[in-house]
Every structure is written in C-alpha cells, then in structure tokens.
Amino acid sequence: MLDGVQHITGHGRGRKKALRYPARMDVGIVGLAGSGRTTVFRSLLAFVANGTASTRQRGTPIGRILVQDARLERLSELFQPRKTTPVEIAIHDLCPSLEPCFPTSEIEAMKRMDALLLVVPAFADAAPDALVAGLDRLVGELCLEDLASLERRLDRARKERIDERITDALEAARSALESELPVSAADLGTGQRNALRGYALVTDRPLIALCNVAESDAGCPLPEPLAKRASELGMSALGLCAALEAEMAQLANEDRAAFLAEYGVHEPASGAVTRAVLEAADIIPFFTVGEDECRAWPIGRGTRAREAAGKVHSDIERGFIRAEVVSFEELAPLAGLLAEAKKTGVLRLEGKDYVVRDGDVVHFRFNV
C-alpha cells in the first residue's frame, strides 16, 4: 500500500518537487480576559501520550494533539510499520486579550485556522445570563470584523462588476453578520458557500464554545441558557475545568483516571475537544498502510477519491488512475492480508469520483 511520499519519485531533470500536504488541522483558542484561555491551552497538552509541549510560531504558543484512533492502532499492529502517524491537531493559543477588540494580527491568524475554540469563563459565581453575554461578545466581535471586511469587498465588487453570483453570496453573508450570526451558521446554498471560500472570513469556519467551569461543576451538563445560545449560533459547546485538568497532569498516569472519576469526568479534555473539533468540521480519516508507515489522513466528509489522493501527494492526484479500497471493518478480520481481501472480493477498485468513507483503507494507483 502507498504510505505517503516514500514511494513517489520524480521524472525528468530539474523537475520541481511536488507538494506534500500536511495531515493536520490548525485550531485556534481565543477568549475573554480572565477566561483561563492559556490554562485551557496547557491542559489540552497535559499528556505525553496525546500532546507535546508547546513551541512558538510568530510569537504564538503552539502545541499538538495526536488524535487517538483504535482503528489506526490496530492497523499498526497488523502491518508492523516503521512509523505510525495519526491525525494531528495543532492548537494555537492566539489572543491574549479582547480589549477593546481583537488585534489585526490575531484576526489574520484566525483566518489561517481550520476551527476556533471560543473560551467562555463559567466559574462558580457566574450567572447564566453572564455566560451567554460572554459568548455573544466573542461571537459579536468576530462578526463585526467580518462585516467590516465584507463591506469593503462589496464596494469593490460593485465598482468592478464582479459576477452577480459572488455579489449575492456576499450580500447573504452580510445579512447574517448584521444579525451577529456567524457565516458558518447562515442559511446559504452550496454555491454561495463556495463563492465565499476565497474571502477567508473568520466566522466561515467551525466555532466551538469551550466553557471553562469551576471544579464543583466538572462533569456536569452545561447551563441550559448557554447550551441553547450556542445552538442558536450554530455552534457546538462543551465544558472542561482547566484548573482540574492542570492539577491532574501532575499525577502519575495510573492515578489520573481515578482522580477524574472523583469529579464525574470520564476522560481528559483533549479527547472530548478533538472529537468536537472533528465533528464540527465534519472531518473523517482514511488510512494508508504499508511496511514504511501506517497513516491516518483527515479529509472533509464527501471528499472524492482523486481529491483524497491529493491529500497524500499532489503527484498522485495529478496522475490518478484508480483507488483500491477496503474498509477497516472488512480488512481487520482478515488479519490485514490484502491478498485475502482481494480474494474474498472486499477489496474494490474505485474511480476518481468515488466518495471516500470514514475508515477506508486506500491504495492509490497513479502514473506521472
């Protein structure tokens, strides 16, 4: 099976090396002053098994979480590769303050993210109305930034007589933003969303409300007003106690689960957050396997085989011939034996328009 670029070779002298796409998502954390945003960032990276200590890029702390997937672990057991590479989520601790508004540099950084976590302080003395107001302030500020950008672009579009379909999409997005509704939650058609894709609007990406709760509320459902408001804004919402997670990180591995259980928490925050990010972005993995590497590749649900091939390497997308596909559920009982999968008929040949499914094990055949 093809396992990344190790099997890719160039043809012809002086040929420019083809691009390899990163198998990761970039997620930014923003929040109100005093929300515990940086503590949340550190708590998500508290475990050596799932995360790494943060580094810095353009002054922004960045850490990474490796998404745990039992299917990839099983494939690694079966194929015994030199390397196993899960989906990676890079967490960026973006904005130190929202006073009085987001700095321009941070807005530009948000535009480079695949999703945003909006940290809302939900400590013991916080009234439900205050929680809703905090979320509204964060979302409202992002909507104002997008609205200002759209106004400028609409003025330019009218002067330059840009395609009416693009202008209609900009107008529809502006209408939503004027109501402080994120573009991601607006009632837009597929064509309109595609037209907006090149405009890099901050709210045109998954937004997730992350409530930093008190220890006494760890493991409890979110306050109903806040959960309802997040739903109205088209956002998923979840809670975590950053202080508790940070305290747990100081314990020995064997003591952590018991410590969490005392507070009614069933797993570290990193697991719940990564699931929320992948679900909100509608991201699924497919797998490539082999002696060199078993790897999970994140793609949007509905991605076709040729575009999925480009996730591995642009040469494969350009020279795509066909995909050999078997689902993990069909391959695992056969001890990972691809010859047996072919013999039993569960290994299929698919063309460029095949929609790759969650958990597909894929071998791309190509010619360049």
Token pair belonging to 29: 């954390």
Say what the pLDDT of residue 23 is: 64
* Percent of the chain residues topping a pLDDT of 70: 88
Burial class (CB in 10 A: 0-12, 13-18, 19+), 31: buried
Q: How confident is the model at residue 163 (pLDDT cuts 50, 70, 90)?
A: confident
Minimum mean pLDDT range among 13-17, 87-91, 144-148, 323-327: 13-17
Does residue 331 have a pLDDT over 90?
yes
Domain spans of the chain, in order of start: 302-366
More confidently predicted of 119 and 20? 119
Q: Could you tell me which residues come within 8 angstroms of residue 317 by beta carbon, excluding any fewer than 6 positions away?
A: 306, 307, 309, 310
Q: Which fold has domain 302-366?
A: Ubiquitin-like (UB roll) (3.10.20)
Say if CB 90 and CB 66 are below 8 A apart.
no
d(CA 163, CA 67): 41
Residue 13 has pLDDT above 70, yes or no: no
* Mean pLDDT across 1-16: 32
How large is the average pLDDT for residues 95-112? Answer: 79
Let me know if 303 is exposed, middle or buried by CB neighbors in 10 A (0-12, 13-18, 19+): buried
Look at 232-246, 298-312, 348-362 and tell me which has the smallest mean pLDDT: 232-246
For the chain, where are the E strands, in sequence order? 24-31, 55-57, 60-66, 83-85, 88-93, 115-122, 207-213, 236-240, 283-288, 293-300, 320-327, 348-350, 360-366
Query: Cβ distance 231 to 238 under 8 Å?
Result: no
Q: Which residue has the higher pLDDT, 43 or 111?
A: 111
Mean pLDDT of the chain: 85
Dig out the tokens for 260 from the structure.
Answer: 């969490």
User: What mean pLDDT comes out for the span 223-242?
Assistant: 92
Mean pLDDT of 111-133: 87
- Which pair of tokens denotes residue 209? 């409300």
List the structure tokens of 241. 């106690």
Whether the predicted pLDDT of 8 surpasses 50: no
Lowest average pLDDT, out of 45-59, 241-255, 270-284, goes to 45-59
pLDDT of residue 161: 74
Counting beta carbons within 10 angstroms of the beta carbon of residue 130, is it exposed (0 to 12), middle (13 to 18) or buried (19 or more)? Answer: middle
**Model pLDDT, residue 60:** 74
Q: How many CA atoms lie within 13 A of 305 on its CB side?
A: 22
The yes-or-no verdict on residue 86 having pLDDT over 50 is yes
The pLDDT value recorded for residue 217 is 84
pLDDT of residue 21: 44
Tell which wins on pLDDT, 140 or 47.
Answer: 140
Residue 17 has pLDDT above 80, yes or no: no
Cβ(137)–Cβ(29) under 8 Å?
Answer: no
3-class secondary-structure state, position 317: helix
Residue 311 has pLDDT above 50, yes or no: yes
Average pLDDT over residues 102-123: 89
How many Å apart are CA 202 and CA 295, to the nearest integer?
Answer: 30
Asked if the model's pLDDT at residue 71 lies above 50, the reply is yes
- Bridging pattern class, strands 348-350 and 320-327: antiparallel
Residue spans of alpha helices (H) in the chain: 37-44, 70-79, 104-111, 128-160, 164-178, 190-196, 224-232, 242-248, 253-262, 269-281, 305-312, 314-318, 328-331, 338-344
**Between residues 311 and 250, which one has the greater pLDDT?**
311
Check pLDDT > 60 for residue 243: yes
- pLDDT of 18 higher than 60: no
| Separation of CA 181 from chain center | 21
> Amino acid identity of 246?
A
Q: What is the value of pTM for the model shown? A: 0.84
Arithmetic mean of pLDDT, 174-203: 92
